[in-house]
Amino acid sequence: MRSFGIEFVPMELYWRTTYYSIQAERLGYDNIWITDHFNNRNVYVSLAVIANYTDRIKLGPGVTNPYLVHPVMTAQSVASLNEVAPGRVVCGIGAGDRTTLDMVGVEMKAPLRTVREAVEVIRRQLAREKGGYEGRVFRTAAGARFNFKVQNPIPIYVGAQGPKMLRLAGAIGDGALINASHPDDIREAVRHIRRGVERAGRRVEDVDIAAYTSFSVAESEKKARKPVIPVVAYIVAGSPPSILEKHGVSTEVADQIRSDLANRRWGEAFGAVDSDMIDAFAVCGTPEQCTEKIDALFKTGITQFVTGSPLGPNVRGAIDLFGREVLPHFKES
Amino acid sequence: MSYRELVKRIPHAMYERLSEKLMDVLLEAKGGGDVPSSLAKTILYYWQRDQLASEAGLVNLLQAVEIADPEGATAVLDEFGLEEVKLALRPAER
C-alpha cells in the first residue's frame, strides 16, 4: 500500500486551508494532517471545517501533544470529529516541540512514558472503557468516559524522530510519522520502527509508516529550493549534534543559525543555509526530481509519503503540480 | 450595479481562466482576512462542487477579490480586457 498525505499549518485563514484541502482530495491525496501549535489557529476547528467540505480524504491532527492537551480532551476531539467525518479520522500524537512548550512554561518531562500513556488513555476513552486508568503521568477515575458512542475505529499515529520514540511508535502505533526527509534517516527510522513492531509481537503490515517531510515542488529546481530555506534553517537549529554530524553540518554553524533565528536576524540565518543542508533536510525539486526522491523513500519501507510545508513557492500551484505530475506515477504503478 | 450584473457582461469563454486568476489573487491577498466568513464559505461551497467558473461562482469570487485586494481585481480585469466591467465596478474611475 502506498498512500500520500499533505500537511497544512493553520497559520493561514481557515478558508484557504480548506480550499487547499478540497484541492488535495480532488487530486488524489489520501490524508490531511493539520499541525497543532498554540500560536496558530486551532487544529480541531480547522479539521471540522475541512471535514465539512471533503468526502473521502482521511484527516487528523499531525501531530498534537499530551503536554498542552490532556489525552481525554484529544480523545473527545477526535471522537467528535469522527461524527462530522465518519471513518475518516486519524489521530497523530507526539511529544511536541520543546521550543514551543518552553514558550508557555511547560516542561517536556518523560516524553516516552507520557506519549505511551497518552495513547493508552485515548484508546480507552474511544473504547468507552468503564474502569479508570492509573498511569504515572495520567490518571482517570472509573466512569470518566464519554456520554456518546464512537462508531468507527480511529487509528493513532505516533510522531517520532529519535530511536526510542520510533521504537515506541512501532510498538503501540497504528501508524508512525517519521519526522525526517533524507533517505538515510528514514531508512534508519524504519529499522527502529520495525524493531518496535517485532518486540511488541505485532506485524509490520499493521503499521502505516509515514515519512513526514519538508517538501517543495516547482517547475524549476531553483524555484522549488528557495521556499524550503527558512524551514531548513529551523530544522538545522533544532537538530541534535548526532543528526548534524551525520549530514556534515558543524555544530558551530548550527549554533550560529540558532542564535540568528532567536535574534530575528533572518537574513543571516537563512543565508547560512547551504545546498547540502537543503538536500539533507528537505525533499524538493522539479516534479521529475521529486518523483525520483519519493520513489527512493518508498524503497526504505515507508507506506505513506507526507508532503509537509512549505509545499512550494505557491501552495495552490504546488498542490496542482504534485497532483498532476507526481502522484499519478505512484497511483498508477 | 450588482456583481451579478457585472458578471453577465463577461463573455462565457473567459469564465474558466478568469475564475482561476481571481482565485490566485484571493489566495495570496493580504486583505484575505477582510473577506466575510459567509462569503468565504460560499466560495468553498462552489469550489467543492467545482463550480467556481460558473456565473454564480464568479459573482462571489469577484466580490471577495474586490474586498481582499481591490488593486488585484483591477489588474485581473485589465489583463482580460474587461474595461467596461472595471469601470462599472468603480464608477469613480470613469
Please give the ipTM for the structure prediction: 0.96
Lowest mean pLDDT among A179-183, A207-211, B1-5: B1-5
Beta-carbon contacts of residue A193 (< 8 Å; ≥ 6 apart): A160, A166, A167, A169, A170, A176, A178, A207, A209
Single pTM value for the model: 0.95
CA atoms of A128 and A146, how far apart (whole Å): 6
Quick: pLDDT tens for A251-267. Answer: 999 999 989 988 889 99
Quick: pLDDT tens for A240-251. Answer: 888 899 999 999
The reply to whether residue B23 touches residue A316, judged by beta carbons under 8 angstroms, is yes
pLDDT band at A179 (very low <50, low <70, confident <90, very high): very high
Contacts with A, B 24-63, CB within 8 Å? 24, 27-28, 32-33, 35, 37, 40-41, 43-45, 47-48, 50
Burial A243-269 (b: 16+ CB within 10 A, else e): bbeebebeeeebebbbebbeeeeeeeb
Domains of chain A: 3-223+283-331 (3.20.20.30)
Interface test with A, best of B23, B42, B43, B47 (most A CBs within 10 A): B47
Lowest mean pLDDT among A269-273, A327-331, B88-92: B88-92
Q: How far is B43 from chain A (nearest CA, A)?
A: 9
Q: Of B32, B33, B44, which is closest to A18 when you measure between CB atoms?
A: B44
Partners of residue A22 in chain B, C-beta under 8 Å: 44, 47-48
- Taking one residue from A and the other from B, the number of pairs with CB-CB distance under 8 angstroms is 33
- A246 near B CB under 8 A: no
* DSSP summary character for residue A90: -
Given a cut of 90, whether residue A115 has pLDDT beyond it is yes
Q: Of B27, B33, B50, which is closest to A19 when you measure between CB atoms?
A: B27
Share of chain B above pLDDT 70, in %: 96
CA atoms of A310 and A283, how far apart (whole Å): 11
Mean predicted confidence (pLDDT) in B61-88: 96
pLDDT of residue A155: 98
Mean predicted confidence (pLDDT) in A46-72: 98
pLDDT of residue A239: 84
Type of residue found at A239: S
pLDDT of residue A41: 97
Instruction: Please choose, from the candidates A140, A146, A176, A166, the residue with its C-alpha nearest in 3D space to the C-alpha of residue A63.
Output: A176
Share of chain A above pLDDT 70, in %: 100
| Nearest chain A alpha carbon to B32 | A13
Q: Of B24, B27, B48, which is closest to A22 when you measure between CB atoms?
A: B48
pLDDT of residue B27: 98
Q: Of B33, B35, B48, which is closest to A53 when you measure between CB atoms?
A: B48
The reply to whether residue B48 touches residue A316, judged by beta carbons under 8 angstroms, is no
Tell me the backbone φ, ψ of residue B19, rounded to 5 degrees.
Answer: -65, -40
pLDDT of residue B91: 63
Where does A181-236 show beta strands of DSSP type E? 208-217
CA atoms of B79 and B94, how far apart (whole Å): 18
CA atoms of A45 and A51, how far apart (whole Å): 10
Cell of A68: 498542552
The reply to whether residue A15 touches residue B28, judged by beta carbons under 8 angstroms, is no
Given a cut of 60, whether residue B94 has pLDDT beyond it is no
Quick: pLDDT tens for A50-59. Answer: 999 999 999 9
Q: Is A314 exposed, middle or buried (0-12, 13-18, 19+ CB in 10 A)?
A: middle
The reply to whether residue A314 touches residue B44, judged by beta carbons under 8 angstroms, is no
pLDDT band at A218 (very low <50, low <70, confident <90, very high): very high
Given a cut of 70, whether residue B92 has pLDDT beyond it is no
- A239 near B CB under 8 A: no
Cell of A325: 505530475
Helix axes of A14-27 and B37-48: crossing angle, nearest 10 degrees: 0
Given a cut of 80, whether residue A1 has pLDDT beyond it is no
Partners of residue B33 in chain A, C-beta under 8 Å: 13
pLDDT of residue B93: 54
Beta-carbon contacts of residue A34 (< 8 Å; ≥ 6 apart): A7, A8, A9, A10, A17, A43, A46, A47, A50, A59, A60, A61, A62
Q: Mean pLDDT in chain B? A: 94
Partners of residue A17 in chain B, C-beta under 8 Å: none
Mean predicted confidence (pLDDT) in A94-116: 92
Strand-strand pairing, A304-311 and A283-285: unpaired
Given a cut of 90, whether residue A98 has pLDDT beyond it is no
pLDDT of residue A332: 72
Quick: pLDDT tens for A122-178. Answer: 999 999 999 999 999 999 999 999 999 998 999 999 999 999 999 999 999 999 999
Q: Is A60 exposed, middle or buried (0-12, 13-18, 19+ CB in 10 A)?
A: buried
Instruction: Please choose, from the candidates A24, A25, A42, the residue with its C-alpha nearest in 3D space to the C-alpha of residue A34.
Output: A42
Interface test with B, best of A13, A20, A57 (most B CBs within 10 A): A13
Cell numbers 499549518 label which residue? A9
Partners of residue B36 in chain A, C-beta under 8 Å: none
Quick: pLDDT tens for A258-313. Answer: 899 888 899 999 999 999 999 999 999 999 999 999 999 999 999 999 999 999 99
Q: How far is A16 from chain B (nearest CA, A)?
A: 6
What are the structural domain ranges in chain B? 3-93
Tell me the backbone φ, ψ of residue B93, rounded to 5 degrees.
Answer: -85, 0
Given a cut of 60, whether residue A110 has pLDDT beyond it is yes
Mean predicted confidence (pLDDT) in A42-65: 98
Quick: pLDDT tens for A5-36. Answer: 999 999 999 999 999 999 999 999 999 999 99
- A15 near B CB under 8 A: yes
